[in-house]
A = this chain, B = another copy of it.
Amino acid sequence: MAILLNNMGFENQPWADVFADELPDMPVHVWPEVPDPAQIKYAVVWKHPHGDLRRYPNLQAILLLGAGTDHIDAEPDLPKVPVVRLLDPDVGNDMAQYALYWAMHFHRRYEDYRQQAQRAEWQAHEVTRSKEFRVTVLGLGIIGQEVAQRIAGGGFCAQGWNRSPRQIEGVKTWHGAGELSEALQHSDVVVNCLPLNDSTRHLLNRQRLSALPKGAFLINISRGAVIDDDGLIELLNDGHVSGAALDCFAQEPLPQESPYWRMPNVYVTPHMSGSTYVKSASRPVVENIRRLEKGDVPQPIHLPPQHAAST
C-alpha cells in the first residue's frame, strides 16, 4: 500500500523526502505519476483536482496539507473516508504574529511615522492606550483562539466572536448571528479568521461592516471570499474603514486589475501570514499516518458537509 502525494501548486519533493525517511515501508507516489491507483491507501493532498480522489478504490483516509477546508468541502465527489486537517503549530504562531503586527501598525500609526520621516518631520502622536484598543477576532477555531490569545498577550483589549459560544480567558466574546453586529460596533480592529462556507461567504458585506465605528481597521487572514470586496472598497474609499491588511483574496494571486493594489490605505500581502513549513508540519502528518496504521483515530478529524449530509 502507498501514499498519494499532491501538494498542488506547491513543492512535493520535501514532503516525499520526509515520508521516505519516516515511513520507509510505504512508497510515495507523487501525483500525477500513480502507477497503480489500487495501491493508494492515504491521500496527502492540498487543492487536489476535484474528482481525482474517486480514482483510488482502496483509499482509507484523506490528509490535508493545510488548515483550510473550503476546497475539500467543495469536492462534489468525496469518498466517504476520514478527512484530517493539518494543524502545524507554527502556522498558528505565524498567523497570530501577522494579526498582532498589523494591529500594532494601525494602533500606533506607523504609516504616519513612515510618511513623516520622508519629510524629516519629528512629531509624536498620542494614541489610545493599547489595553483600551479593541481587537476582535471573528472565528474562534483553533487558529482564531491562538490569535485572540496573542492579541491579549500583546497588550491589547482582545475580543472575539464565534458562531457557537466560546470561552477564552482574558477575551470578551460574543456569539451567534444575532451578536455579530454588536461585536463589530465595539471593535477598533477586526481580524477575520472565519472559515469559508455557505454561511460565511460575503458575510462581511457593506451593511455588516458599516456597524464598525468610523475609523476602524480590518485584517483578513482566513479566506478572501468571506469579505464582499465591493462593500469593503466603498467603506475604505469613504473613510468609514480607515485601513485594511489583506492576506487572502477571492482569487489568488490577486489579479493585477484589483483596486486593492492601488489603494493607499490597503496593505496587500501574498497569502504569507501562515506558511506551512515542511520541517514542523510534516510531524503531525506522519504521526497521523502512524495512528491510522495502528487503527487509532487521527486528529483533528474534519467533518465535511458532504459526509454530514449523508449520515
Q: What's the number of copies of this chain in the assembled complex?
A: 2
A124 surroundings in chain B (CB, below 8 A): 270-272, 275
Set of chain B residues within 8 Å of A277, measured between Cβ atoms: 129
* Distance A268 CA – B105 CA, assembled complex (angstroms): 15
Distance A150 CA – B93 CA, assembled complex (angstroms):
14
Contact of A254 among B94, B122, B254 (CB under 8 A): B122
> Of the 9-residue stretches A28-36, A76-84, A108-116, which lies at the interface with chain B?
A108-116
Q: Which of A95-103, A184-192, A200-208 contacts B (4 or more CB under 8 A)?
A: A95-103
Per the 8 Å Cβ criterion, residues 99-150 of A in contact with B are: 100-101, 104-105, 108, 110, 113-114, 116-117, 120, 122-126, 129-131, 150
Instruction: Decide: B125 and A272 in contact? CB cutoff 8 A.
Output: yes
Chain B contacts for A272, CB-based, 8 A: 108, 113, 124-125
Q: Interface extent on A, as a size class?
A: 35 or more
A98, A153, A270: residue with the most chain B Cβ atoms closer than 10 Å: A270
Is B117 touching A108 in the complex (CB atoms < 8 A)? Answer: no
Decide if A105 touches B114 in the complex (CB within 8 Å).
no
Ordered by A's residue number, 23 sampled pairs between the chains whose C-beta atoms are within 8 Å are A90-B129, A90-B131, A93-B155, A94-B155, A96-B155, A97-B130, A97-B154, A97-B155, A100-B100, A100-B104, A100-B154, A101-B105, A110-B269, A113-B272, A117-B267, A117-B269, A120-B254, A120-B262, A123-B270, A124-B271, A124-B272, A125-B272, A129-B277
